Amino acid sequence: MNAEIIAVGSEMLGPTRIDTNSLFLTDQLTTLGVEVVAKAVIGDDLALLTETIRTAVHRSDVVILSGGLGPTEDDLTREAVAAALGVGQTYRAEIFEGIAALFAKMGRKISDNNKRQANVIDGAEVLANERGTAPGQWIRTPRGGVVMLVPGPPREMTHMWTNQCQPRLAAMVPPLAIRTVWFRVSGMSESELDQLIAPAYKPYTNPTTTVLAKAGDIEIHLRARCTTAEQAQALVDEVGEKILALLGERIYSRNGDPLETVVGGLLKERSETVAVAESCTSGLLGAKLTDTPGSSAWFRGGYLVYANDLKRDLIGELNGPAVSEETAVSLARAAAERAGADWAISTTGVAGPDGGTEASPVGTVWIGVARQGGAAEARRFRFPGDRTRVRMFATQAALDMLRRRLSPGAKVAESTWLSNA
């Protein structure tokens, strides 16, 4: 079963307005097994709105309109739905009296405009609004679908949805079990990942697979819908196993946890701690590691060594250029030692836009990982994009290098952005 959500009102088309109603409704519909295939925001224009509703009703089973139910002439949702369905409207005096009583209770005088709110589309059930004046409407279509009119203000809409729309719709849809799998992956580009896993998920329309990418971080969502929970679970397991086999330890999380939480969990399990020494990321790594509540159990602190003499202050003399393997290794070793941490991660690189050299062009970052009194290593990366992206990539790659060190025995493929040049 498919759905479309239409928000009505020119004010919703401003450069700062977000249609949050559709986010709530999408979540609710998905839980019922109803798939949202399109959303729209339409200004106060009768012809445009009517056309949009007609198209939606023709191709989708559920059409939800939020807003445009007020008393002014700009409030056109009722007219547009009636026109799109080719039916009329009937004025119901008892609805107007109900609204008038509400106004009286608030010590306000009702205006004649409010009569518009008492117009009911022929064939509609009226949905009482317990948090405002505009009643909603519920109309079954000849094709067996449904059109719902709900108020725009979120607190009125959510209350009406929960108490009136959701139960009616739940009775219409076949009960459906949903099972999901959520992988998070680091160290790959989106196109590289998709090329690798597309053969595994493309043959399936159920579960649906969605791939979402940010700098240095990719999410894969699988969602299966079946008549039984067992069938749905079997389907996500089937496709999930295939993806798992292809990506292996590149998958750092199977429950949606971000990389910093996974790293924190590994450290906590081992009762170990981490410190940082940051040059090009200059705080991003420390900020990420402390996003998670409770991070004081495993994060100690660190050193922002942006200026080169602060690098020297931490490690003694520089044994190589500021952006080099030697410096990254020395920074990580010194940070672990100085902060009294079991582990330390370091970054030193060229985030740009200036400062690139032939040996270290913009995007080059050395990332070091050291265990206090143990092995230390550094790797050279070359990240794409502008200053902001290079710094984000470097932060994710640094967290991922530590994760790999903390997951012994993992056979891990190399990162896309490792660079030996």
The answer for residues whose C-beta is within 8 angstroms of residue 168's C-beta and 6 or more apart is 138, 146
Which of 32, 42, 331, 394: binder of a copy of itself (CB under 8 A)? 42
Name the helix (H) or strand (E) containing 217. Answer: strand 217-226
Least Å distance, CB 165 to a copy of itself, is 16
Which of 136, 207, 216, 286: binder of a copy of itself (CB under 8 A)? 286
Question: Following DSSP, what letter does each residue of 322-357 receive, concatenated?
Answer: SSSHHHHHHHHHHHHHHHT-SEEEEEEE--SSS---
DSSP 164: I
Least Å distance, CB 102 to a copy of itself, is 9
Can you say how many angstroms the Cα of residue 270 is from the centroid of all Cα atoms in its chain?
A: 31
The residue assigned the tokens 């306000």 is 108
Strands (E), 105-165: 119-121, 125-127, 136-140, 146-150
Which of 157, 339, 344, 406: binder of a copy of itself (CB under 8 A)? 339
Pairing mode, if any, of strands 364-371 and 376-382? Answer: antiparallel
Least Å distance, CB 86 to a copy of itself, is 19
Binding mask of the shown chain, residues 136 to 155, with x at each position contacting a copy of itself by CB under 8 A: -------------------x
Site residues for a copy of itself, 293-322, by CB under 8 A, read: 293-296, 299-307, 309-310, 313
Candidates 107, 172, 165, 106; CA nearest to 135 is 165
Query: Which of the ranges 85-93, 160-168, 183-191, 397-405 carries the binding residues for a copy of itself, by CB under 8 A?
Result: 183-191
Least Å distance, CB 159 to a copy of itself, is 9
Structure tokens at 19: 């249609």
The residue (of 42 and 124) whose beta carbon lies closer to a copy of itself is: 42
Which of 141, 166, 206, 208: binder of a copy of itself (CB under 8 A)? 208
The residue (of 134 and 232) whose beta carbon lies closer to a copy of itself is: 134
CA distance 328 to 136: 63
The residue (of 123 and 301) whose beta carbon lies closer to a copy of itself is: 301
Binding-site size for a copy of itself (CB under 8 A) equals 99
By CB under 8 A, tell whether 97 contacts a copy of itself: no
CB count within 10 Å of CB 89 equals 18
Pairing mode, if any, of strands 62-66 and 343-349? Answer: unpaired
Helix (H/G/I), strand (E/B), else coil: 270: coil
Binding mask of the shown chain, residues 209 to 248, with x at each position contacting a copy of itself by CB under 8 A: -xxx------------------------------------
Least Å distance, CB 407 to a copy of itself, is 24
Site residues for a copy of itself, 99-128, by CB under 8 A, read: 106-108, 111, 113-114
Least Å distance, CB 122 to a copy of itself, is 26
The residue (of 375 and 421) whose beta carbon lies closer to a copy of itself is: 421
Which of 163, 191, 227, 407: binder of a copy of itself (CB under 8 A)? 191
Least Å distance, CB 331 to a copy of itself, is 12
CA distance 71 to 112: 9
Instruction: Report cis status (omega within 30 of 0) of the bond before 207.
Output: yes
Name the helix (H) or strand (E) containing 182. Answer: strand 177-186
Site residues for a copy of itself, 247-276, by CB under 8 A, read: 276
The residue (of 391 and 403) whose beta carbon lies closer to a copy of itself is: 391
| Core vs surface per residue 205-238: b (16+ CB within 10 A) or e | eebebebebebbbbbbebbbbbeeeeebbebbbe
CA distance 288 to 283: 9
Site residues for a copy of itself, 72-91, by CB under 8 A, read: 72-73
Structure tokens at 416: 């896309």
The residue (of 51 and 377) whose beta carbon lies closer to a copy of itself is: 51
The answer to whether 335 touches 346, Cβ cutoff 8 Å, is yes
Site residues for a copy of itself, 367-396, by CB under 8 A, read: 382, 384-389, 391
- Max CA pair span of the chain: 88
Least Å distance, CB 349 to a copy of itself, is 12
CB count within 10 Å of CB 61 equals 19
Site residues for a copy of itself, 11-40, by CB under 8 A, read: 11, 13-18, 23-24, 26-27, 30, 36-40
Which of 143, 202, 254, 270: binder of a copy of itself (CB under 8 A)? 202
Which of 50, 66, 77, 281: binder of a copy of itself (CB under 8 A)? 281
